[in-house]
Chains A and B, each alone.
Chain A
Amino acid sequence: MPVLFPLVVSSLLFAVGVYVVLARRHAVLVLMGVELMLNAVNLDLVSFDALWHDSLDSGQLLSLFVVAIAAAEIGLGLAIVLLVFRTHRHIDVDRLRDLADRDLVRTDPVSSPAGSTAGPADEAAGEAVTTS
């Protein structure tokens, strides 16, 4: 087959991934767009390996490395998304514009030793954060 078939498919997948990252508001959807882009790059690597057949099999092996790095990245990225959800109660990337945590909402009852008695301490801590 002409080598353009897989290359055009991967270019279109990459363009769709760019659209998903830029246009969608939910942080998990942004991560899905990043995964689409990484898959497009993998298809490129594999198709160039099929074209050039180099002795190190570098296309296919590099695509395996890309898969492993993408798995590590998505694990860490989703941990960050969960932490943002825990502190802000939403993961709308259009609303997460500040570097400071001004709309912080303490909502983990597990971390406080006794939920209601730790309330005033939480608010004091929150005020200390916003006034510093």
Chain B
Amino acid sequence: MSESHLELPQGTLDLLILRTLALEPQHGWAISERIHQISSKVLQVQQGSLYPALHRLERHGWIKSRWGASDNNRRAKYYELTARGRKQLEAEKTAWEKLTTAVAQILETA
């Protein structure tokens, strides 16, 4: 199964993770699956990018982690959004929308 991987800039992955966690707390695997599904299988987040990003977000205090039991009763680390994380999500969403609008305008007119 060869998929063309789109290279996600670092900031964007953070935004996606935060957005995914806004719905409910999830573990790393679920986050990567969710992103894969919702993006119509376009975005596949590699482990090598996902976990460092998760740990970084945790250090910033935007998400917090706790160990729990998964659906099939395995030990898994669940992440959930904090209040500060929610604010950060809003801020990044606004920034992203501004950026994409600006880029789209240029592509249309030029």
Same complex for A and B? Answer no
